[in-house]
Amino acid sequence: MTITLAQLNTKATITWCPGCGNFSILTAFKRALVELQIPREKVVVITGIGCHGKFGDYVNVNSFHTIHGRVLPIATGIKLANKELIVVGFSGDGDAYAIGLSHIPHAARRNIDVKYVVHNNMIFGLTTGQVTPTTPKGVKTRSTPYGNPEEPLNPLALALVSGATFVARGFAGDVAHLTWLFKEAIKHKGFAFIDVLQPCYTFYNTYEYFRRRVYKLEDVGHDITDFEEALKKAYEWNDKIPIGIFYKVRKPTFEETLPQLKGEPLALRDISDVNIEKAYVFLR
């Protein structure tokens, strides 16, 4: 059966602001699923709290709208229970880099085969415009009316040094490129991290800022197997801002290192009459 874009639509009414970068991310993700022809039942989308959190309501695949910051642990549990599912987490910059930050380095070094997309608009949108860990220094927000006194976090560098095996940046202003990134991330075996520059039309509109600065790493012959080069590119944030795949390497996934996961997914195993007597040896 062919998977079509129409099948991926849901009955839910979209409540994002007109012009929101989330629309591009949603479109790119749906296109990626159609182009890869992945059955809907095989995909699980996990979202956190924030404007991005509605994402699951708008795409007709399995979805888990979790509490603030916990996309990665939920995704990890799902993948362990059923390794055959395509598990894709979506977070905002608040969800991922503020409250949920403790999970990123660990998911990365574990190399669980989960895809993680961060809608990075550098602002808290749903709570009406407060500072986040990626808001540039000096920016005035409702919680930093005198300008943000803190240096922003570098998400790509963080992912790289944590051992992520696929690290990329997308731009919500370029849907075709983002679609390609999603496809590459889904095809990658291992933890795939994509930070998406996503302008917030209402509270922090960065469309023009980024449009003038972004360039594609594919266009400049960037070697995605070169870790140090990737790290250098992660620190490039001035007149030129790179998007595309920074780094990609094939390493054993967490699931591949666990012999218990060989064979059928855990969720489908027969659990009706587990013989525990073999553990009595420890109790005698």
Partner 1 sequence: MGVAASGRMLAKTFTRGGYYVFGMIDYPSLIRGGHNFYHATVSDERIWSLHYNVDLIIALNKDTLDRHLSKLKKKGSIIVDSDIKYDKSALERQGARVFEIPLTGIVKELGALTVVRNSVALGASMALIDFDLEVLLSVIRKELGKRKEIAEINVEAAKRGYSFVVEQYGKGVQCTIRPRSDNGHLVITGNEAVALGGLRAGMKTYFAYPMTPASPVLHFLANVQFDFDVVVVQPENEIAVINMAIGAWYAGSRSMVATSGGGFALMTEAIGQAAMTEIPVVVVLAQRSGPSTGMPTYTAQGDLRFALHASQGEFPRFVIAPGDAEEAFYLTVRAFNLAEKFQVPVIILTDKHLAESHLTVPAFDLKKAKVERGKIIVGKYEGSEEYRRYKITDDGISPMAFPGTLNAIVKVNSSEHNEYGFATADAKNAEIMAKKRLRKLELMQEEVENCEESVKVYGDERSPIAIIGWGSTKGAILEALKILEAKGVNVKFVQVVFLSPFPTRRLQTILKDVRELLLVENNVTGQLGSLLREHLLRAPDEYLLKFNGRPFYPHEVVSKVLEVVK
- Would you say 150 and 123 are in contact if contact means Cβ atoms under 8 Å apart? no
Apex 116 CA angle, 246 and 139, nearest 5 = 75
Does 278 interact with partner 1 (rule: CB under 8 A)? yes
Contact with partner 1 (CB under 8 A): which of 16, 24, 28, 63?
63
Q: Does 2 bind partner 1 (CB under 8 A)?
A: no
Q: How far is the CB of 84 from partner 1 (least distance, A)?
A: 7
Which of 32, 46, 168, 230 touches partner 1 (CB under 8 A)? 46
Query: Among positive and negative, which fits the CA dihedral 166, 76, 1, 5?
Result: negative
268 binds partner 1 (CB under 8 A): yes
Stretch that binds partner 1, among 19-27, 51-59, 115-123, 245-253 (CB under 8 A): 51-59
Q: Which of residues 3-22 bind partner 1 (CB under 8 A)?
A: 10-12
Query: Quick check: 75 binds partner 1 (CB under 8 A)?
Result: yes
61 binds partner 1 (CB under 8 A): yes
The residue behind tokens 């699980």 is 44
39: left (phi over 0), alpha (psi -120 to 50) or beta: beta
- Count of C-beta atoms within a 10 Å radius of residue 25: 23
Distance CA 30, CA 62 (A): 13
Encoded tokens for 174: 């370029």
Residue 86: HSE in the Cβ half-sphere, 13 Å Cα cutoff: 18
Dist CA 188 CA 29 (whole Å)? 15
Binding-residue pattern over the window 162 to 201 for partner 1, x denoting contact by CB under 8 A: ----------------------------------------
In the complex, minimum distance from the CB of residue 205 to partner 1, in angstroms, rounded to a whole number: 26
Query: Segment contacting partner 1 (CB under 8 A): 29-37, 116-124, 241-249, 274-282?
Result: 274-282
Identify whether the C-beta of residue 81 lies closer than 8 Å to the C-beta of residue 265. yes
Site residues for partner 1, 80-99, by CB under 8 A, read: 80-82, 84-85
Question: Which one of 38-46, 140-148, 184-192, 221-229 is the stretch in contact with partner 1 (CB under 8 A)?
Answer: 38-46
- Judge contact between 186 and 86, C-beta under 8 A: yes
Residue 85: DSSP 8-state:
S
Residues found near partner 1 in the complex (CB under 8 A): 10-12, 40-42, 44, 46, 53-54, 56-57, 60-67, 69-70, 72-82, 84-85, 102-103, 106, 258-261, 265-269, 271-274, 276-280, 282-284
